[in-house]
């Protein structure tokens, strides 16, 4: 599955979901128009991640959106996910591509042009770029601003997903600069998750 | 590589190594007769694990012993390790076997006969059994005593590696009950790592 709609890209975070049901929250977001889901889990055992990913896959299949696994290539293989997303502290892009083959989606987080160039050369299908806005969710995230989106757009044709601090209030600043917006707390941190997803989706007017 | 000598099975633990050089400590242990090495890393990034595993592989190749990766099947694939070791909180044994294929070694930690039976059915090449003695290294380890070694020996022919609190002083109690002894602090926690490995090795008189 390589014909991917990156428009409304949801990244999970247990901390912003709090004590609500993880899977119910994901499903609300999918009902609200999320077009691609990334499972990002850092603190659970491999078995818990595997079980969660199997459950998430049932949902993404139901709503016919791709499921991407953050960092853990083995979990992606184990559940036959649609793809993997790696950062600069994860397995090297070339190595991941070799393990997952050409059919699976490979996304790479970059925070400068040099990393973007290398990711593309090494086999990335899309880039995650940010933080485009100040963020509280991922405290260690480098701030790139939206300027890097513009620079990557000028130089490369690879799909770009903006990430970091994106919400209803600032999303229009991304107009024309990306193929998708990755949201965490802007959706999962909201009381009405479905409505939050719908609102953000409706503002991504430059993406089909 | 499936003709494995499990005799002196070293499991790494950064905490017992302290601020000594990780790779130098491993090499001392290999010089002392370690016959198989398991890299167990829980707190580092995937990239750090990958880099460390590549370095460890150079050493295990130099000393011609198998390199096993704990839990992280993706790291094992990424560096083409000789095998993977999983516990009951890691990916299911059947799933791991499917991902790594038949050529790689698959070890499984078990703490009772039921888990042993399932691991064997699901494709384990060897079992890690313990803790056979009280241990301080792995605080969450279940205590099985040496009785479980005896029971598994009676029922099954799979190679068994005893683990947990094994040291110079108690190792003779394992006589005839296992195909290898897995050591952490009994080797890596000692001042003279090479000598500690040699001493323990010399006491494993029932294993060729
Ligand atoms: Ni990790």
User: Per-domain residue ranges for chain A?
Assistant: 8-203
**Tens of pLDDT along B143-179?**
999 999 999 999 999 999 999 999 999 999 999 999 9
> What Cα–Cα distance (Å) separates residue A37 from each residue in A116, A150, A195, B54, B157?
22, 24, 17, 32, 45
> What Cα–Cα distance (Å) separates residue B74 from each residue in A66, A99, B4, B188?
21, 8, 22, 26
Question: Which residues of chain A have a CB within 8 Å of the CB of B86?
Answer: 46
Query: Which residues of B, range 23-82, sit inside 8 Å of A by Cβ?
Result: 45-48, 50, 71-75, 77-78
pLDDT band at B139 (very low <50, low <70, confident <90, very high): low
Q: Is A84 a known ligand-binding residue? A: no
Yes or no: say if B170 and B139 are a contact pair by the CB < 8 Å rule.
no
Q: Is A109 a catalytic residue?
A: yes
**pLDDT at residue B140, rounded to an integer:** 54
Task: Report how far ligand 1's centroid is from the alpha carbon of B41 (Å).
Answer: 10
Is A95 strand, coil or helix?
helix
Does the beta-carbon distance from B90 to A47 stay under 8 Å?
A: yes
> Measured between alpha carbons, how far is A68 from A80 in angstroms, rounded to an integer?
10
Is A68 strand, coil or helix?
strand
Distance from B99 to chain A by nearest Cα, in Å?
A: 7
In order along its 208 residues, chain A shows pLDDT tens digits of 468 999 999 999 888 898 999 999 999 999 999 999 999 998 899 999 999 999 999 999 999 999 999 999 999 999 999 999 999 999 999 999 999 999 999 999 999 999 999 999 999 999 999 999 998 766 556 899 999 999 999 999 999 999 999 999 999 999 999 999 999 999 999 999 999 999 999 999 999 8
**pLDDT at residue B141, rounded to an integer:** 65
Sign of CA dihedral A55, A61, A65, A66: positive
> Measured between alpha carbons, how far is A28 from B184 in angstroms, rounded to an integer?
47
Cα torsion B85, B90, B92, B93 to 10°: value is 10
Alpha helices in A37-175 (DSSP H): 46-62, 73-79, 93-100, 113-122, 147-155
Question: Token pair of A188, please?
Answer: 């999962």
Question: Token pair of A205, please?
Answer: 């007017």
**pLDDT at residue A14, rounded to an integer:** 86
Is residue A30 classed exposed, middle or buried when 0-12, 13-18 and 19+ CB atoms within 10 A define those classes?
buried
Q: Which residues contact A190 (CB under 8 A, 6 or more apart)?
A: A196
**Tens of pLDDT along B112-122?**
999 999 999 99
Higher pLDDT, B137 or B182: B182
> Measured between alpha carbons, how far is B79 from A95 in angstroms, rounded to an integer?
9
ipTM of the complex: 0.93
Does the beta-carbon distance from A99 to B89 stay under 8 Å?
A: no
**pLDDT at residue A175, rounded to an integer:** 96
Task: Report how far ligand 1's centroid is from the alpha carbon of A56 (Å).
Answer: 19
Does the beta-carbon distance from A90 to B46 stay under 8 Å?
A: yes
DSSP 8-state secondary structure symbol assigned to residue A180: E
- Active-site positions of B? 40, 109, 138
**Catalytic position from the list A7, A109, A194, A199:** A109
DSSP 8-state secondary structure symbol assigned to residue A187: H
Closest chain A residue to the Cα of B89, Cα to Cα: A47
CATH class of B8-203: alpha beta
Does the beta-carbon distance from B99 to A90 stay under 8 Å?
A: no
**Tens of pLDDT along B64-103?**
999 999 999 999 999 999 999 999 999 999 999 999 999 9
Q: Please state, rounded to an integer, the average pLDDT across all residues of chain B.
A: 95
Q: Is A39 a known ligand-binding residue? A: yes
φ, ψ at A78 (rounded to 5°): -60, -40
Does the beta-carbon distance from B90 to A48 stay under 8 Å?
A: no
């Amino acid at each position: 599955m390589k014909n991917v709609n990156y428009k409304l890209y949801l990244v999970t975070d247990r901390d912003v979901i709090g004590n609500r049901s993880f899977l119910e929250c994901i499903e609300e977001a999918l009902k609200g128009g999320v077009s691609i889901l990334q499972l990002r889990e850092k603190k659970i055992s491999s078995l818990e991640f595997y079980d969660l990913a199997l459950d998430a896959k049932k949902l993404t299949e139901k709503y016919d959106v791709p499921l991407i696994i953050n960092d853990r290539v083995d979990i992606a293989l184990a559940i036959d996910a649609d793809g993997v997303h790696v950062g600069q502290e994860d397995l090297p892009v070339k190595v991941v591509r070799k393990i997952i083959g050409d059919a699976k989606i490979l996304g790479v987080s970059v925070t400068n042009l040099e990393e973007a160039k290398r990711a593309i050369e090494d086999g990335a299908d899309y880039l995650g770029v940010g933080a485009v806005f100040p963020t509280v969710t991922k405290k260690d995230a480098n701030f790139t601003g939206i300027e890097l989106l513009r620079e990557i757009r000028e130089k490369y044709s690879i799909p770009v997903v903006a990430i970091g601090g994106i919400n209803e209030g600032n999303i229009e600043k991304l107009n024309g600069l990306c193929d998708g917006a990755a949201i965490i707390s802007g959706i999962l941190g909201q009381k009405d998750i479905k409505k939050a997803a719908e609102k953000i989706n409706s503002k991504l007017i430059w993406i089909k």
